[in-house]
Structure 1
Protein backbone atom coordinates (compact mmCIF):
# COMPACT_ATOMS: atom_id res chain seq x y z
CA UNK A 1 0.00 0.00 0.00
CA UNK A 2 1.42 3.38 -0.96
CA UNK A 3 1.30 6.50 1.19
CA UNK A 4 -1.45 7.95 -1.01
CA UNK A 5 -3.65 4.91 -0.28
CA UNK A 6 -3.28 5.11 3.50
CA UNK A 7 -6.35 5.84 5.54
CA UNK A 8 -6.15 9.44 6.78
CA UNK A 9 -5.61 9.98 10.48
CA UNK A 10 -8.32 11.10 12.86
CA UNK A 11 -6.91 14.62 12.64
CA UNK A 12 -9.33 15.19 9.76
CA UNK A 13 -12.01 15.34 12.49
CA UNK A 14 -10.51 18.57 13.83
CA UNK A 15 -13.03 20.39 11.62
CA UNK A 16 -15.68 19.33 14.14
CA UNK A 17 -13.62 20.63 17.06
CA UNK A 18 -13.25 23.97 15.27
CA UNK A 19 -16.97 24.12 14.44
CA UNK A 20 -17.95 23.42 18.05
CA UNK A 21 -15.42 25.98 19.26
CA UNK A 22 -16.84 28.59 16.86
CA UNK A 23 -20.44 27.93 17.92
CA UNK A 24 -19.44 28.03 21.59
CA UNK A 25 -17.55 31.30 21.25
CA UNK A 26 -20.28 32.88 19.13
CA UNK A 27 -23.05 31.99 21.59
CA UNK A 28 -21.00 33.29 24.52
CA UNK A 29 -20.27 36.51 22.62
CA UNK A 30 -23.98 37.04 21.94
CA UNK A 31 -24.86 36.45 25.59
CA UNK A 32 -22.09 38.74 26.90
CA UNK A 33 -23.07 41.56 24.55
CA UNK A 34 -26.85 41.33 24.95
CA UNK A 35 -27.40 40.39 28.59
CA UNK A 36 -26.37 41.68 32.00
CA UNK A 37 -24.62 39.31 34.39
CA UNK A 38 -27.33 37.45 36.32
CA UNK A 39 -30.05 38.38 33.83
CA UNK A 40 -32.44 35.58 32.94
CA UNK A 41 -34.67 35.35 29.86
CA UNK A 42 -37.49 32.80 30.01
CA UNK A 43 -37.57 30.64 26.90
CA UNK A 44 -39.70 27.68 28.05
CA UNK A 45 -41.42 26.89 31.36
CA UNK A 46 -38.36 24.76 32.26
CA UNK A 47 -35.58 26.60 30.42
CA UNK A 48 -34.02 30.07 30.58
CA UNK A 49 -31.03 31.84 29.14
CA UNK A 50 -29.30 32.95 32.35
CA UNK A 51 -25.97 34.76 32.04
CA UNK A 52 -23.55 33.49 34.69
CA UNK A 53 -19.81 33.33 35.37
CA UNK A 54 -18.39 30.04 36.60
CA UNK A 55 -15.00 30.41 38.28
CA UNK A 56 -14.73 26.68 38.92
CA UNK A 57 -15.23 23.44 37.06
CA UNK A 58 -18.40 21.40 36.50
CA UNK A 59 -21.21 22.25 38.91
CA UNK A 60 -19.08 25.21 40.10
CA UNK A 61 -16.65 22.81 41.80
CA UNK A 62 -13.73 24.86 43.19
CA UNK A 63 -15.44 28.15 42.33
CA UNK A 64 -14.66 29.58 45.77
CA UNK A 65 -11.03 28.38 45.81
CA UNK A 66 -9.46 31.84 45.71
CA UNK A 67 -8.20 32.07 42.13
CA UNK A 68 -5.59 29.31 41.83
CA UNK A 69 -8.21 27.04 40.21
CA UNK A 70 -8.11 29.17 37.04
CA UNK A 71 -4.53 28.07 36.36
CA UNK A 72 -5.06 24.51 37.57
CA UNK A 73 -8.14 23.98 35.38
CA UNK A 74 -6.40 25.68 32.43
CA UNK A 75 -3.42 23.34 32.79
CA UNK A 76 -5.75 20.32 32.86
CA UNK A 77 -7.58 21.56 29.74
CA UNK A 78 -4.30 22.08 27.89
CA UNK A 79 -3.02 18.63 28.88
CA UNK A 80 -6.29 16.96 27.83
CA UNK A 81 -6.31 18.86 24.54
CA UNK A 82 -2.76 17.79 23.70
CA UNK A 83 -3.55 14.19 24.63
CA UNK A 84 -6.76 14.12 22.57
CA UNK A 85 -4.95 15.59 19.56
CA UNK A 86 -2.25 12.92 19.90
CA UNK A 87 -4.90 10.18 20.12
CA UNK A 88 -6.75 11.60 17.10
CA UNK A 89 -3.52 11.49 15.11
CA UNK A 90 -3.03 7.82 15.97
CA UNK A 91 -6.60 6.85 15.04
CA UNK A 92 -7.76 6.09 11.52
CA UNK A 93 -10.32 8.65 10.34
CA UNK A 94 -12.83 5.86 9.70
CA UNK A 95 -12.97 5.00 13.41
CA UNK A 96 -15.78 7.53 13.51
CA UNK A 97 -17.16 6.94 17.03
CA UNK A 98 -13.83 7.53 18.78
CA UNK A 99 -12.86 10.33 16.40
CA UNK A 100 -16.22 12.03 16.92
CA UNK A 101 -15.91 11.64 20.70
CA UNK A 102 -12.36 13.01 20.86
CA UNK A 103 -13.18 15.89 18.52
CA UNK A 104 -16.22 16.87 20.61
CA UNK A 105 -14.34 16.79 23.91
CA UNK A 106 -11.44 18.68 22.34
CA UNK A 107 -13.68 21.45 20.97
CA UNK A 108 -15.44 21.83 24.33
CA UNK A 109 -12.23 21.78 26.35
CA UNK A 110 -10.68 24.49 24.18
CA UNK A 111 -13.85 26.61 24.36
CA UNK A 112 -13.85 26.62 28.14
CA UNK A 113 -10.06 27.02 28.23
CA UNK A 114 -10.27 30.19 26.14
CA UNK A 115 -12.88 31.58 28.53
CA UNK A 116 -10.60 30.93 31.51
CA UNK A 117 -7.58 32.44 29.81
CA UNK A 118 -9.41 35.50 28.46
CA UNK A 119 -11.89 36.25 31.25
CA UNK A 120 -10.74 34.24 34.26
CA UNK A 121 -14.07 32.35 34.32
CA UNK A 122 -16.32 30.31 32.05
CA UNK A 123 -19.45 31.92 30.62
CA UNK A 124 -22.56 29.80 31.19
CA UNK A 125 -26.09 30.59 30.05
CA UNK A 126 -28.18 27.46 29.42
CA UNK A 127 -30.31 26.97 32.52
CA UNK A 128 -32.81 24.14 33.02
CA UNK A 129 -35.07 23.97 36.07
CA UNK A 130 -38.30 22.53 37.40
CA UNK A 131 -40.16 24.36 40.15
CA UNK A 132 -37.53 24.80 42.92
CA UNK A 133 -34.98 22.43 41.37
CA UNK A 134 -32.27 24.06 39.20
CA UNK A 135 -29.64 22.31 37.13
CA UNK A 136 -26.41 24.33 37.08
CA UNK A 137 -26.12 26.60 34.04
CA UNK A 138 -23.86 25.36 31.25
CA UNK A 139 -22.79 26.24 27.70
CA UNK A 140 -22.19 24.73 24.26
CA UNK A 141 -18.66 23.63 25.21
CA UNK A 142 -20.06 21.71 28.17
CA UNK A 143 -22.58 19.99 25.89
CA UNK A 144 -19.77 18.97 23.53
CA UNK A 145 -17.71 17.55 26.40
CA UNK A 146 -20.65 15.58 27.83
CA UNK A 147 -21.68 14.34 24.37
CA UNK A 148 -18.13 13.23 23.63
CA UNK A 149 -17.84 11.50 27.00
CA UNK A 150 -21.12 9.71 26.30
CA UNK A 151 -19.75 8.48 22.98
CA UNK A 152 -16.60 7.22 24.73
CA UNK A 153 -18.78 5.22 27.13
CA UNK A 154 -20.86 3.93 24.21
CA UNK A 155 -17.70 2.87 22.39
CA UNK A 156 -16.32 1.15 25.47
CA UNK A 157 -19.44 -1.00 25.73
CA UNK A 158 -19.87 -1.73 22.03
CA UNK A 159 -16.22 -2.42 21.24
CA UNK A 160 -15.91 -4.90 24.14
CA UNK A 161 -19.00 -6.72 22.82
CA UNK A 162 -17.36 -7.01 19.39
CA UNK A 163 -14.15 -8.42 20.90
CA UNK A 164 -16.07 -10.97 22.99
CA UNK A 165 -18.04 -12.03 19.92
CA UNK A 166 -14.84 -12.70 17.97
CA UNK A 167 -13.42 -14.88 20.76
CA UNK A 168 -16.50 -17.09 21.08
Structure 2
Protein backbone atom coordinates (compact mmCIF):
# COMPACT_ATOMS: atom_id res chain seq x y z
CA UNK A 1 0.00 0.00 0.00
CA UNK A 2 1.47 3.36 -0.97
CA UNK A 3 1.30 6.50 1.15
CA UNK A 4 -1.52 8.02 -0.92
CA UNK A 5 -3.77 5.03 -0.30
CA UNK A 6 -2.95 5.12 3.41
CA UNK A 7 -3.85 8.80 3.61
CA UNK A 8 -7.30 8.27 2.16
CA UNK A 9 -7.80 5.17 4.28
CA UNK A 10 -7.43 7.17 7.49
CA UNK A 11 -9.94 9.77 6.27
CA UNK A 12 -12.45 7.13 5.21
CA UNK A 13 -11.91 5.42 8.58
CA UNK A 14 -12.86 8.70 10.26
CA UNK A 15 -15.96 8.87 8.05
CA UNK A 16 -16.89 5.32 9.10
CA UNK A 17 -16.36 6.21 12.78
CA UNK A 18 -18.66 9.23 12.48
CA UNK A 19 -21.33 7.07 10.84
CA UNK A 20 -20.99 4.38 13.50
CA UNK A 21 -21.22 6.80 16.44
CA UNK A 22 -24.12 8.63 14.79
CA UNK A 23 -26.13 5.48 14.13
CA UNK A 24 -25.46 3.93 17.54
CA UNK A 25 -26.55 7.09 19.37
CA UNK A 26 -29.71 7.33 17.27
CA UNK A 27 -30.60 3.68 17.88
CA UNK A 28 -30.05 4.13 21.62
CA UNK A 29 -32.30 7.20 21.66
CA UNK A 30 -35.04 5.38 19.76
CA UNK A 31 -34.80 2.40 22.12
CA UNK A 32 -34.85 4.46 25.34
CA UNK A 33 -37.16 7.38 24.48
CA UNK A 34 -40.63 7.89 23.05
CA UNK A 35 -41.15 10.64 20.48
CA UNK A 36 -41.06 14.01 22.25
CA UNK A 37 -39.80 12.55 25.52
CA UNK A 38 -36.89 14.48 26.99
CA UNK A 39 -34.43 14.20 29.82
CA UNK A 40 -32.77 17.32 31.25
CA UNK A 41 -29.00 16.92 31.46
CA UNK A 42 -27.92 20.47 32.40
CA UNK A 43 -29.60 23.87 32.72
CA UNK A 44 -29.03 24.39 28.99
CA UNK A 45 -29.15 20.89 27.48
CA UNK A 46 -31.71 18.09 27.13
CA UNK A 47 -31.79 14.77 25.37
CA UNK A 48 -35.03 14.62 23.38
CA UNK A 49 -36.25 12.23 20.72
CA UNK A 50 -37.58 14.04 17.69
CA UNK A 51 -37.71 13.41 13.96
CA UNK A 52 -37.01 15.77 11.09
CA UNK A 53 -38.45 14.86 7.68
CA UNK A 54 -36.89 18.03 6.21
CA UNK A 55 -33.39 19.43 6.14
CA UNK A 56 -31.46 21.68 8.53
CA UNK A 57 -33.73 23.53 10.97
CA UNK A 58 -36.75 21.66 9.61
CA UNK A 59 -36.47 23.20 6.13
CA UNK A 60 -39.24 21.70 3.96
CA UNK A 61 -40.38 19.47 6.84
CA UNK A 62 -44.05 20.43 6.41
CA UNK A 63 -44.42 18.97 2.92
CA UNK A 64 -46.16 15.70 2.03
CA UNK A 65 -43.16 13.36 1.70
CA UNK A 66 -41.49 14.23 -1.60
CA UNK A 67 -38.64 15.86 0.35
CA UNK A 68 -37.54 12.42 1.65
CA UNK A 69 -36.48 11.38 -1.84
CA UNK A 70 -35.18 14.82 -2.73
CA UNK A 71 -32.84 14.90 0.29
CA UNK A 72 -31.93 11.24 -0.17
CA UNK A 73 -30.88 11.93 -3.77
CA UNK A 74 -29.10 15.13 -2.77
CA UNK A 75 -27.17 13.28 -0.03
CA UNK A 76 -26.18 10.50 -2.40
CA UNK A 77 -24.95 12.96 -5.04
CA UNK A 78 -23.08 15.04 -2.45
CA UNK A 79 -21.43 11.91 -1.03
CA UNK A 80 -20.25 10.79 -4.47
CA UNK A 81 -18.94 14.29 -5.21
CA UNK A 82 -17.10 14.41 -1.86
CA UNK A 83 -15.43 11.03 -2.45
CA UNK A 84 -14.30 12.10 -5.93
CA UNK A 85 -13.06 15.43 -4.61
CA UNK A 86 -11.16 13.74 -1.77
CA UNK A 87 -9.44 11.43 -4.26
CA UNK A 88 -8.38 14.41 -6.35
CA UNK A 89 -7.30 16.38 -3.26
CA UNK A 90 -5.53 13.61 -1.34
CA UNK A 91 -2.42 15.78 -1.05
CA UNK A 92 -4.38 18.37 1.04
CA UNK A 93 -4.77 16.84 4.51
CA UNK A 94 -6.89 19.55 6.16
CA UNK A 95 -9.28 19.60 3.22
CA UNK A 96 -9.62 15.81 3.34
CA UNK A 97 -10.15 15.92 7.11
CA UNK A 98 -13.00 18.42 6.77
CA UNK A 99 -14.54 16.47 3.91
CA UNK A 100 -14.31 13.21 5.88
CA UNK A 101 -16.41 14.73 8.68
CA UNK A 102 -18.94 16.13 6.20
CA UNK A 103 -19.15 12.80 4.38
CA UNK A 104 -19.74 10.91 7.63
CA UNK A 105 -22.51 13.30 8.61
CA UNK A 106 -24.14 13.19 5.20
CA UNK A 107 -24.15 9.39 5.14
CA UNK A 108 -25.35 9.19 8.75
CA UNK A 109 -28.42 11.27 7.95
CA UNK A 110 -28.85 9.49 4.60
CA UNK A 111 -29.13 6.16 6.44
CA UNK A 112 -31.98 7.60 8.53
CA UNK A 113 -33.83 8.85 5.47
CA UNK A 114 -33.59 5.44 3.80
CA UNK A 115 -34.32 3.49 7.01
CA UNK A 116 -37.26 5.49 8.41
CA UNK A 117 -37.94 8.37 6.02
CA UNK A 118 -36.73 11.10 8.37
CA UNK A 119 -33.71 12.05 10.44
CA UNK A 120 -33.47 11.22 14.14
CA UNK A 121 -32.51 14.28 16.21
CA UNK A 122 -31.88 14.28 19.95
CA UNK A 123 -29.46 17.00 21.08
CA UNK A 124 -31.45 19.94 22.46
CA UNK A 125 -29.59 23.08 23.57
CA UNK A 126 -31.49 26.05 24.95
CA UNK A 127 -31.40 29.29 26.93
CA UNK A 128 -34.49 29.90 29.02
CA UNK A 129 -37.41 29.02 26.76
CA UNK A 130 -35.45 29.55 23.53
CA UNK A 131 -34.38 26.25 22.02
CA UNK A 132 -31.92 25.71 19.20
CA UNK A 133 -33.42 23.20 16.75
CA UNK A 134 -32.58 19.66 17.90
CA UNK A 135 -29.76 18.00 16.02
CA UNK A 136 -27.62 14.86 16.07
CA UNK A 137 -24.04 13.57 15.78
CA UNK A 138 -24.19 13.61 11.96
CA UNK A 139 -25.19 17.28 12.00
CA UNK A 140 -22.36 17.99 14.44
CA UNK A 141 -19.87 16.25 12.16
CA UNK A 142 -21.04 18.32 9.20
CA UNK A 143 -20.58 21.48 11.28
CA UNK A 144 -17.08 20.41 12.36
CA UNK A 145 -16.18 19.57 8.76
CA UNK A 146 -17.35 22.96 7.49
CA UNK A 147 -15.43 24.69 10.30
CA UNK A 148 -12.26 22.82 9.30
CA UNK A 149 -12.77 23.83 5.66
CA UNK A 150 -13.23 27.48 6.65
CA UNK A 151 -10.09 27.45 8.82
CA UNK A 152 -8.23 25.80 5.96
CA UNK A 153 -9.39 28.40 3.47
CA UNK A 154 -8.73 31.42 5.69
CA UNK A 155 -5.30 30.15 6.73
CA UNK A 156 -4.03 29.99 3.16
CA UNK A 157 -1.40 32.52 2.26
CA UNK A 158 -2.75 35.16 -0.06
CA UNK A 159 -0.53 36.23 -3.01
TM-score above 0.5, yes or no:
yes
Counterparts of residues 89-100 of structure 1 (less than 5 Å): 89-92=87-90, 95-100=92-97
Between the aligned partners of 2:60 and 2:2, the Cα distance in structure 1 is 49
Does the CA contact (< 8 Å) of 1:10 and 1:88 recur in 2?
no
Between the aligned partners of 1:78 and 1:5, the Cα distance in structure 2 is 29
TM-score by length of 1: 0.89
Does the CA contact (< 8 Å) of 1:9 and 1:88 recur in 2?
no
Q: How far did 1:156 drift?
A: 1.4
State which of 103, 108, 113 in structure 2 corresponds to 1:111. 108
State which of 75, 84, 87 in structure 2 corresponds to 1:86. 84
Q: Which residue of 2 aligns with 1:41?
A: 39
Counterparts of residues 56-71 of structure 1 (less than 5 Å): 56-71=54-69
Q: Which residue of 2 aligns with 1:14?
A: 12
Q: Which residue of 1 aligns with 2:52?
A: 54
Counterparts of residues 13-32 of structure 1 (less than 5 Å): 13-32=11-30
Query: What stretches of structure 2 of length at least 5 have no aligned partner?
Result: none
What is the alpha-carbon root mean square deviation over aligned residues?
1.5
Moved beyond 4 Å, runs of 4+: none
CA shift in 2, pair 1:70/1:10, >3 Å: farther
TM-score by length of 2: 0.94
Q: How far did 1:10 drift?
A: 4.9
Larger radius of gyration: 1
CA shift in 2, pair 1:114/1:7, >3 Å: closer
